[in-house]
Amino acid sequence: MHSKSILITGAGPVGTLLAIYMARRGYTVSVYEKREDPRKTLLDDGRSINLALSHRGIHALEKAGLEKIILEHAIPMKGRMVHDTKGQTNFQPYGDEGQYINSISRGGLNRSLIEHASKQKGIDFHFNQKCIGINLETKIAVFENHENGEETNVSYSILAGSDGAFSQIRKTLQEEKAFRISIEKLPQGYKELHLPAGQGNRHLLEKNALHIWPRAQFMLIALPNTDGSFTCTLFLPFEGEHSFASIQNKKQLHAFFENFFPDALSLIENIEEEYFDTEASFLSTVHTFPLIFDDSVFLIGDAAHAIVPFYGQGMNAGMEDVRILNELLDQWKDNWPKVLPEYQKARKLNVDAIAELSMRNFIEMRDLVADENFVLRKKIEAAIHKKYKDYLPLYSMVTFSDLPYSEALAKGKEHDRLMEEILALPDIKTDWESEKGWEKIEKILLKKGVWEGTVNRNNKQE
């Protein structure tokens, strides 16, 4: 049986939440982080994409008693506000009335979690400490102090690799133990831009929405901040006709925005400096197997399954890792040799599923949200869900439930086949809201058999 201590590499939101959970279980927790203490700096190491905190992350925070503290700094986003090239907008709600995701800054969330963790007995943070190696046989991790170059050997009984998409723990496991790692880079990258607040810290766009400018192979999004500003992210191919490579000077930049994002251009201050002062960052998906080594090392969060940000589930999935690990520790009474294989079994299938879902949602966001047939599909799905509650749209399954991602993906594919048949009905665009149209839709629902009990039950009630 292991001693009640754990070493965590990485003090991001997932690593810090894991530390809090472990300390509550009575563990002595040491957290080593290569960056500076975020309580002392506003820098975010270039990773400032706002996070979309939703049900899975909130559930994990709730179990630690932190959801109210964190949500104080969040802004509800009830849906997508889609902007066309003429500056006209179309609002598409995410779910039922009262369902929303939450915009929160990565840095603000991280600082809040670390502040809370630092007040908790049994947690010790070490910043400016980069992991430079691990001896898996002797169970010693080596860290280098950024400030003075001093190296420190740290023994561990349990080691949690929560050190992000470029994890040193994962790299060591890959080099020494032949872990299977694949990293898939997208041809698109991203740059951050800042849309400032108006007079009196007023939001210049609709506050309670995620704004999106979809333009087929590229897009711009904007998430609200509590100070009235928006964090904008430009997703653009690295090469090609419309790409980072094609925008080399101020004239080209302004022409590009005037053509594709005219209403955003009028609001973004200092666009030239912000655009040209930073390099475009890569987007990638990391697939890892196994997630554990023996009964002493495991990967969690982005270190185990970094994904592209287009479903807003990266952090939520990582926090769900923490919650499920904790539930397994309850079930197996902290018997790590039993827990770790079960943790891997519970998470691998599902993190692969959310990786696939995130790529699917990228296509939806950049290509489909402005498509007439896609918008019609969303309206019909919302109407089916309103009448037959057992039918949950894919977005709701992923974002507003604890349904395993793999099950949501499977059901989403069933929905695709169902909606293809419905949208192929003659005159569906004009008569789907009529009694005759609903009779056709319900015939398809019954034929598919997936919601037969619900349809019959609801019809009897009527």
Residue entry with tokens 């080596």: 142
Phi then psi dihedrals of residue 32, to 5 deg: -110, 130
Rg value, the chain, Cα: 24
Distance of CA 409 to the CA centre of its chain: 16
Q: Say if residue 1's pLDDT is above 50.
A: no
83-119: pLDDT as tens digits:
999 999 999 899 888 999 999 999 999 999 999 999 9
Q: Say if residue 58's pLDDT is above 90.
A: yes
For residues 162 and 252, the answer to whether their CB atoms sit within 8 Å is no
378 and 331 share one domain: no
354 and 291 share one domain: yes
For 156-243, strand residue ranges (E) read 159-161, 180-195, 210-215, 218-224, 230-237
Distance of CA 224 to the CA centre of its chain: 16
166-221: pLDDT as tens digits:
999 999 999 887 788 999 999 999 999 999 999 999 999 999 999 999 998 899 99
Q: 127: domain range?
A: 5-73+106-183+285-361
Q: Say if residue 456's pLDDT is above 60.
A: no
Domain CATH for 305: 3.50.50.60
3-state secondary structure 44-106: CCCCCCCEEECHHHHHHHHHCCCHHHHHCCCEEECEEEEECCCCCEEEEECCCCCCCEEEECH
pLDDT band of residue 448 (cuts 50, 70, 90) is: low
| Last residue of one domain, picked from the residues 320, 339, 361 | 361
Report the pLDDT value the prediction gives residue 151, as an integer from 0 to 100: 97
Report the pLDDT value the prediction gives residue 461, as an integer from 0 to 100: 40
**Which ranges of 388-434 does DSSP label H, i.e. alpha helix?**
394-399, 405-423, 428-431
Report the pLDDT value the prediction gives residue 65, as an integer from 0 to 100: 95
13 and 117 share one domain: yes
For 105-179, strand residue ranges (E) read 123-126, 129-135, 140-145, 151-155, 159-161
Report the pLDDT value the prediction gives residue 41, as an integer from 0 to 100: 75
376-416: pLDDT as tens digits:
888 899 899 988 888 899 999 999 999 999 999 999 999 98
387 and 308 share one domain: no
Phi then psi dihedrals of residue 244, to 5 deg: -60, -35
Residue entry with tokens 């810090």: 16
Q: Supply the DSSP string of 217-232, one letter for each residue.
A: TEEEEEEE-TTS-EEE
Q: pTM to 2 decimals?
A: 0.92
Judge whether 267 lies within some domain: no
For residues 293 and 304, the answer to whether their CB atoms sit within 8 Å is no
134 and 68 share one domain: yes
Report the pLDDT value the prediction gives residue 101, as an integer from 0 to 100: 97
Give the rounded percent of residues in the chain with a pLDDT score beyond 70.
Answer: 93
338 and 456 share one domain: no
DSSP, collapsed to helix, strand or coil, labels residue 116 as helix
Task: At 309, list the tokens.
Answer: 């940000």
pLDDT band of residue 453 (cuts 50, 70, 90) is: very low
DSSP, collapsed to helix, strand or coil, labels residue 182 as strand
| Last residue of one domain, picked from the residues 317, 342, 361 | 361
Report the pLDDT value the prediction gives residue 176, as an integer from 0 to 100: 80
pLDDT band of residue 46 (cuts 50, 70, 90) is: very low
DSSP state letter for 388? -
Judge whether 222 lies within some domain: no
The whole-angstrom separation of Cα 292 and Cα 343 is 9
Q: What is the dihedral of CA 157, 295, 343, 15, to 10 degrees?
A: 20
388 and 429 share one domain: yes
Mean pLDDT of the chain: 91
Q: Say if residue 42's pLDDT is above 80.
A: no
Q: Say if residue 28's pLDDT is above 90.
A: yes
Judge whether 16 lies within some domain: yes
* Interval 66-90 mean pLDDT: 94
Sequence-distant (6+) residues with CB within 8 A of 333 are none
pLDDT band of residue 50 (cuts 50, 70, 90) is: confident
The whole-angstrom separation of Cα 440 and Cα 425 is 8
Report the pLDDT value the prediction gives residue 47, as an integer from 0 to 100: 45
DSSP state letter for 400? S
